[in-house]
Chain A
Amino acid sequence: MKILVAVKRAIDYNVKARPKSDGTGVELANVKMSMNPFDEIAVEEAIRLQEAGKVEEIIAVSVGPAQCQETLRTAMAMGADRGILVQTETEIQPLGVAKLLKALVDKEQPGLVILGKQAIDDDSNQTGQMLAGLLGWAQGTFAAKVEVGVDTVDVKREVDGGLQALTLKLPAVITADLRLNEPRYVKLPNIMKAKKKPLDIVTPADLGVDVAPRLKLVKVSEPAARAGGVKVADVNELVAKLRNEAKVI
């Protein structure tokens, strides 16, 4: 079985994101970018499945500008066998990414697609679900545990208040949650080896996919500054404040 893993280049989780002064987006000039942490978990899971002998080949896919090659090289340094970059300078929304991934799935015929549950930049949490819908495949989102059988896969999902156990028919789409695994450290010699692994570059046009945005970004702004807390003398004052000032009861 082949496995396809989607990896997004996103603002690094250590960086404090800052809106551009004109409100048209987040300031990204010379800001550290990395692989979206949930996608790292997805790659790690694919590698563990390969190490367990369940998977022959891991293909990492990224959609975005030329710099996404670095993200793919990281995936390959972790253990992915090859990479495909769908190169585009324009912003691609979740539906566009899902369509591009579908086109690649049609071509590569993997038995399993693993994605991060969401990217930490826009937190959309949509691509995996949309991809499963477009493919008509089973989906196991928010996966905390994955066990691949002969023609099924067991997925434990993180849901409110516990775990939900599902058995999906293969092929299937899985999205990785935080507790699925802890990704390995990349080793220096593997970074060197990753430079020699195959990396194909295609464009949305090559794949015949229309990626025109459907959503319009209105404005990006800083969250309102938090007002400082106050001490209340007793329960009555608390209730009064909640009712009259906060207007929550």
Chain B
Amino acid sequence: MEREAMEFDVVVIGGGPAGLATAIRLRQLALEHGTGLSVCVLEKGSEIGAHILSGAVMEPRALAELFPDWQELGAPLKTPVTDDRFLFLTRQRAFRLPTPPPMQNHGNYIVSLGNVCRWLAQQAEGLGVDIYPGFAAAEVLYHADGSVKGVATGDMGRTKTGEEGPNFAPGMELHAKQTIFAEGCRGSLTKTLFERFKLRAGVDTQVYGLGVKELWEVTPQQHHAGSVTHTIGWPVDQATYGGSFLYHLEDNLVSIGYVLGLGYANPYLSPFDEMQRFKTHPAIRETFAGARRVAYGARAISAGGFQSIPKLTFPGGLLIGDAAGFLNLPKIKGSHTAMKSGMVAAESLFELLRSESEIGKEAVDYPQRLQNSWLWDELYRVRNIKPAFHWGLWPAMAYSAIDTFVLRGKAPWTLHHTPDHTSLKPAAQCTPIDYPKPDGVLTFDKLSSVFLSNTNHEEEQPCHLTLKDAGVPTRLNLAVYAGPEQRYCPAGVYEFVEEAGTPQLRINAQNCVHCKTCDIKDPSQNINWVTPEGGGGPNYPNM
């Protein structure tokens, strides 16, 4: 079917901090130079912020460069960090460690990144950016010469089997001189660009963590606005990369999350249940006495850092933010680098679009500009910390200390990563983990948790969790790995159920919270996450 097309100078895929910062910077430059420049942002969430889940302690550095008067403009960075604790947990006890320099938070703010994005979107619209939430970019479009022409949004109103339903509305084509991919961690279109333009040739594989997060409203007695706690150690063993964060925001809200490296080996491990168990630690649980949980969600993060940064440009477009992997893992911060990369990209694109009227050009000086910015230096210095965790917790801590304090990140070597989907051991070589039953007060089951993500997908639509081979879940995943998708999915989407005496995989796609873990961790990369109908997915408030 013929699709309608719209033309823009720049189309940005994804309304997170990266995409919004790039759109804002482009329009600022256009207004400064008095030239016209049409910029459009597509966002798959039902509104800006609906799919944003983060910690978050935010470094205001990039924001201050974008809006020097951000405080007067009323940016929702309201709670400065006042104290910073770093704890090592054993089953019963907590030991305070010196906070490593990358994790020190003086001058930073505790925020809801979703709300920061809502605010950035208002600023962007004020500057003339067209923002379209509720529309997922489903397909990359190419010119005959192979350069990127734009994207197409997904069709709406197809039935489960893919036919056109009564309200069918075909997707739209958005054509642009430059298309910016800001899909965040494990972008579904970005993934296809990696292959098509061989952007990952010669760089390390990307590795990931899964962050499971809850937002709580605690009693005023337990609330200490500005307090930041990070923990490592219990409940995961020393071979597993995992740690928590506990941030006290404004209005008696506490954000608690657990980030687990997806390079774990035991297929019985469940990141969701580790998070639940973590909350029961004596040093943690008191914060939640008499409190109520108000939101839940999960999202993967790119943890590979410097050595995993792909080639960033290709004819007709480029990558920014967590789609490219600009996250500083030891700091667990990526919002400031996401914004900064978007702003640098905007500056490079603006020059390019002014000098070249033709379409399909490559913004070759964007990587150079990045290399000259603070972002590059920051990521380079911490590049060896995450891969060192491959050796286990204590050697890694020792290495990190030497790397950070003695070598100051300037070690003459670089450590490397191995892909997360290859790390699972067969179930037969592993011990099942007996997670405690939820009490419904402090700890919960998956279903009541997913309920608080406000996620939903129109039921009549093709399943957006596609399998390359429908036989693999039972033949390989269940037989060899005891069905790990039942455990790593933080939303209970995957279930093995008996049908006619044989186990079958059931996919409850409407529960998906778009964390992308299945696309990352499936042992044979058999699951391909594609965009569902626009507007589907979580509706996170204040996350």
Contact = CB atoms under 8 A, between A and B. Distances in A.
A216 interface: no
A189 B172 CA distance: 9
Contacts of A34: 46
Interface in A189-225: 189, 191-192
B344 to A, nearest CB: 29
Contact of A187 (B130, B172, B541): B172
Contact of B217 (A21, A30, A191): A21
B169 interface: yes
Nearest to A28: B541
Contacts of A29: 251, 541-542
B500 interface: no
Nearest to B46: A32
A30 B451 contact: no
B49 interface: yes
Nearest to A187: B169
A240 B451 CA distance: 36
A31 B167 contact: no
B455 A14 contact: yes
Given A18-B294, A30-B49, A32-B541, A189 B4 contact: yes
Interface string B87-115: 00000000000000000000000001011
Nearest to B542: A30
A188 interface: yes
A81 interface: no
Interface string B208-244: 0000000001000000000000000000000000000
B147 to A, nearest CB: 23
Given A14-B455, A16-B452, A188 B153 contact: yes
A27 B215 CA distance: 14
A16 B454 contact: yes
Contact of A184 (B112, B167, B172, B541): B167
Interface string B469-480: 000000000000
A191 B4 CA distance: 14
A15 B539 contact: yes
A185 B169 contact: yes
Of B50, B451, B541, most buried by chain A (CB within 10 Å of CB) is B541
B135 A188 contact: yes
B123 interface: no
Contacts of B19: none
A154 interface: no
Contacts of B166: 182
A57 interface: no
Contacts of B4: 187, 189
Contacts of B364: none
A184 B115 contact: no
Most chain B CB atoms below 10 A, which of A182, A186, A189 = A186
B448 to A, nearest CB: 11
Contact of B539 (A14, A21, A185, A191): A14
B239 to A, nearest CB: 38
A180 to B, nearest CB: 14
B40 to A, nearest CB: 9
Contact of B130 (A182, A184, A192): A192
A15 B167 contact: no
Interface in A1-53: 12, 14-16, 18, 21, 27, 29-32, 34
B132 A185 contact: no
B287 interface: no
Given A30-B114, A185-B156, A188-B135, A12 B167 contact: no
Contact of A12 (B6, B49, B157, B539): B539
A32 B47 contact: yes
Interface of A: 12, 14-16, 18, 21, 27, 29-32, 34, 182, 184-189, 191-192
13 contacts: A14-B46, A14-B454, A16-B452, A21-B292, A30-B112, A32-B47, A32-B541, A182-B167, A185-B156, A185-B169, A186-B134, A192-B6, A192-B130
Given A30-B49, A30-B115, A188-B153, 4 more contacts: A16-B452, A30-B114, A30-B541, A32-B46
Interface of B: 4, 6, 46-47, 49-50, 112, 114-115, 118, 130, 132, 134-135, 153, 156-157, 166-167, 169, 172, 174, 217, 251-252, 292, 294, 451-452, 454-456, 539, 541-542
**10 closest A-B pairs by CB:** A185-B169, A185-B156, A14-B456, A32-B539, A31-B541, A188-B172, A15-B454, A30-B542, A14-B454, A30-B541
